[in-house]
Amino acid sequence: MNSTESTDVLVIGSGFGGAIPAYHLAAGGARVVVLERGPWLSGDEFDQDFELGSSYTRIFDFVVGDGMSVLGGNCVGGGSVVYFATMPRAPRFVFERRGGIGRRMWPASINRDTLDPWYDRVTEALPVTRYGWDQVPYAGGLFAAACAHAGRTANPVPSAVDLDRCTNCNWMMAGCRYDAKRSLLLNYLPAALAHGAEIRPLHEVQHLSRTDDGGYRVHYRIVDDEDYRVLHDEGVIEAKIVIVAAGAGATPVILRRSEPDLGPMPPAVGRYFSGNGERLNTAVFDEDRVRSVLGLSRPGGQAYAANQIGRGPTVASWDRLDPDLPEFERYSLEQLYFPPGLGTILAQVPDATGPTWFGAEKKELMRRWQSWLTIFTMSEDDNEGVFGPPPATGNAERISQQMLGRGPLRYVPTADTRRGWAAADADVRDILERDGLARVMPWTNDVVGAYTVHPLASCRIGDDPETSALDDRHELRRHPGVFVTDGSAVPGALTVNPALTIAALAERAIPGIVRAAQERGVPVTYHGGLPEGSTVSARPPALRG
Amino acid sequence: MHADTSDADQVRVMTIEAFADTIVPGEKRWPEDRAVAGAAAGGGAVAAGALELLEHPASGYAAVLEPLAGALNAHASRYAQEQGHALDPSVPPFVALEHADRTRLLQELLAVDHPEKEMWVGLALFSNMAFDSAAHLGTHAALAAGHPGLLTIGYHRPDADGLWRFPEYSYGRPLAPLHPHTTSTGSPA
Ligand SMILES: Cc1cc2nc3c(=O)[nH]c(=O)nc-3n(C[C@H](O)[C@H](O)[C@H](O)COP(=O)(O)OP(=O)(O)OC[C@H]3O[C@@H](n4cnc5c(N)ncnc54)[C@H](O)[C@@H]3O)c2cc1C
């Protein structure tokens, strides 16, 4: 006779929203199982290679929707393994945003002051550090110099990269084989393991159902480790508390697929999706002007030609994070690197006579790739993303063996969102085209729609049950015992990189989740400790019984 | 050239190559090359291995290349008729189009509101990916073999141990004033 496996706390997903509760609940004495749909890679398994089937495609996820493509992690550690580790706090005004609903969208209990202590904790745990101009890669320096030339400010952005180990190889999206990037494999996840949590890779959760005693059954399928289109055995685990942290592109899909068993979801599940107002511009620099106008030169004589060198975004300009500007017109501009494979196709040719994003003129633009500088806008979008009916499994119909799929998200940018993008595009052009420094064009939205590496808000916290799926303790309305702690819980666009805010909110949610677990008879306490931190990324335990 | 392949294979290969060559054009591989139009200097998507990438089992496109080639050729015939062009019957219709006409037809098929846009975008994405990142090859091997795309973008070679490191990476000096409302942790206030 098979008896169904059971645990106290079942965590879906192992990114920021999953790893942080997994650690605290395990440390507090609960039995914790983490189900993660992606594989578990670490250290030298992170390849510096673009070949299909290398870590780049195994741990990365690219879901094309209708008007919005979402990029994210697909591995133990989630987005923290593929991300760029740029970790600013969200500016104060963000928490006062009203968005399209005409009243404050954040819960009354949260503002920058009340979140700062939780930001402090994550900053210490990862850790996140400030660094100086002498550690800013050429691309960040070039952006800073252009900002200064235009009378603007620019800041090196705090980051979770250990610069003593970093080689500025810009392979961050394939995972960091030097363990310089302080992913969750170096802090919360090993600490959760040390406290007895189990992490099961290649387990994709499909839906939830209820047990007779008010707990939940979590239904999963095993994912083939090479061809993710192939699903193997299915299984079920019972839990008293379920933490859904599959990321803002997947969490609402799992919940919506559970409706036949669990009953209706709150109306905000799968609505109000935000792409963090993301928008990219590519500038192509005139190397001579970089030297003569900005006075920059590298050892060896080149002025810039260093697109490939660095570690993602390192410098941002925050001049438009001005609380006095109208909502939807505030944004940050951040220098960015996006590798080949995905990072050239959408760049457009200035003054094209033919097609802007392919063809002969585009090829000429590609010849100057090392003189490219990509600028990332994070603005205030209008939470206009809506998820359609869930696909058969997972959160996408997978097209390729790995990475590429087609998902049910629909996003039609409103006039407010487009106004912010237009203002930012004009600003980037104003800064970078001065005195013939560069030519600038935004990435086209005509090919795969808008795109985001910062999916947010598809199952958000709030005080109003109509426009928020979760209460301010992150508990899913109508479904007690289910908590959501990932990016989908963030109410809206943040105008800066979101991971520190996602993580701070997850930290903030823990005492409440611990209380809910206690009420359900789980012997767990909240200690408020932080992970020790390691210098070698966590590997799967050698053998599991 | 493709002498050992069947007619259907030849149609598929030449048509998909001509598509990829319209996305990232290249020089002709041999003087009477028909699939590659020769609209740009140096190797383009075809020389970079677009067909190999699309036929790679991992891409998910191998099985649909033949129907896609068929659909593209149907569009090409229709387009030629609209334009009043007579097409050389010895090659597939899309291949028979001049580079400028191939480009205009793809602009039409890849336009935001075209009902088939998504399938052509997928093909374009992989054609470009073959060029800018040689995703069907190991990156070291591709660089060692002088992959035309990686060469065109000027992608640096790794160190002798196959890893990339840039010990010199910074201008090393302050280059802009900091935002006046920066907090002690380095974040916006
Ligand atoms: C290229 C890139 C660069 C980025 N750079 C930065 C940066 O510099 N700074 C920053 O702040 N943010 C950055 N981000 C964003 C950041 O990574 C995300 O905001 C963050 O990881 C989101 O955390 P999360 O917990 O919401 O979800 P994730 O970290 O995405 O974790 C969700 C996890 O759930 C898993 N999962 C999904 N569905 C299922 C299922 N059905 N069953 C089981 N598991 C499932 C996924 O595989 C994933 O591991 C970047 C993202 C990308 C893609």
Cα–Cα distance measured from residue A177 to residue A135, given in angstroms and rounded to the nearest whole number: 20
Q: Indicate if the pLDDT at residue B2 is higher than 60.
A: no
pLDDT tens, residue by residue, A495-528: 999 999 999 999 999 999 999 999 999 999 999 9
- Please report the pLDDT score of residue A544 as a whole number: 45
Cα–Cα distance measured from residue A166 to residue A162, given in angstroms and rounded to the nearest whole number: 6
Nearest-CB residue to B25 (from A49, A57, A360): A360
Chain B residue at shortest CA distance from A355: B107
Cα–Cα distance measured from residue A293 to residue A162, given in angstroms and rounded to the nearest whole number: 33
Confidence bin at A389 (pLDDT 50/70/90) = very high
- Please report the pLDDT score of residue A474 as a whole number: 98
Percentage of residues in chain A having pLDDT higher than 70: 99
- Three-state secondary structure call for residue A521: coil
Q: Indicate if the pLDDT at residue A327 is higher than 50.
A: yes
- Please report the pLDDT score of residue A533 as a whole number: 87
Cα–Cα distance measured from residue B75 to residue B93, given in angstroms and rounded to the nearest whole number: 9
Please return the burial class of B34, using the count of CB atoms within 10 Å of its CB with bins 0-12, 13-18 and 19+: middle
Cα–Cα distance measured from residue A422 to residue A418, given in angstroms and rounded to the nearest whole number: 6
Using the Cβ of B183 and the Cβ atoms of chain A, whether some distance falls under 8 Å is answered with: yes
Instruction: Give buried/exposed letters for A212-227 (b at 16+ CB in 10 A, else e).
Output: eeebbbbbbbbbeeeb
Using the Cβ of B31 and the Cβ atoms of chain A, whether some distance falls under 8 Å is answered with: no
Nearest-CB residue to B60 (from A167, A299, A400): A400
Closest-CA residue, ligand 1 atom 21, reads: A79
Mean of all residue pLDDT scores within chain A: 97
Using the Cβ of B6 and the Cβ atoms of chain A, whether some distance falls under 8 Å is answered with: no
Confidence bin at B5 (pLDDT 50/70/90) = low
Cα A34 to Cα A205, A309, A426, distances in angstroms: 10, 36, 45
Which tokens sit at B157? 């070679």
- Please report the pLDDT score of residue B6 as a whole number: 78
Percentage of residues in chain B having pLDDT higher than 70: 97
Is the shortest distance between the CB of A241 and ligand 1 below 6 Å?
Answer: no
Cα–Cα distance measured from residue A286 to residue A289, given in angstroms and rounded to the nearest whole number: 5
Asked whether the beta carbons of A157 and A163 are under 8 A apart, the reply is: no
Q: How far is B68 from chain A (nearest CA, A)?
A: 15
Q: Indicate if the pLDDT at residue A172 is higher than 90.
A: yes
pLDDT tens, residue by residue, A87-104: 999 999 999 999 989 899
Percentage of residues in chain A having pLDDT higher than 90: 97
Confidence bin at A541 (pLDDT 50/70/90) = confident
Cα–Cα distance measured from residue A461 to residue A469, given in angstroms and rounded to the nearest whole number: 6
Q: Indicate if the pLDDT at residue A328 is higher than 60.
A: yes
Residue spans per domain, chain A: 5-535
φ, ψ of residue A184 in degrees (nearest 5): -65, -15
Asked whether the beta carbons of B21 and B35 are under 8 A apart, the reply is: yes
Q: Indicate if the pLDDT at residue B177 is higher than 50.
A: yes
Is the shortest distance between the CB of A403 and ligand 1 below 6 Å?
Answer: no
CATH number of A5-535: 3.50.50.60
Confidence bin at A3 (pLDDT 50/70/90) = confident
Cα–Cα distance measured from residue A387 to residue B57, given in angstroms and rounded to the nearest whole number: 30
pLDDT tens, residue by residue, B18-52: 999 999 999 999 999 999 999 999 999 999 999 99
- From A460-474, B2-16, B99-113, B149-163, the region with the lowest mean pLDDT: B2-16
Closest-lying ligand 1 atom to the alpha carbon of residue A173: 1
- Please report the pLDDT score of residue A2 as a whole number: 60
Q: How far is B7 from chain A (nearest CA, A)?
A: 27
Which tokens sit at A428? 């980037």
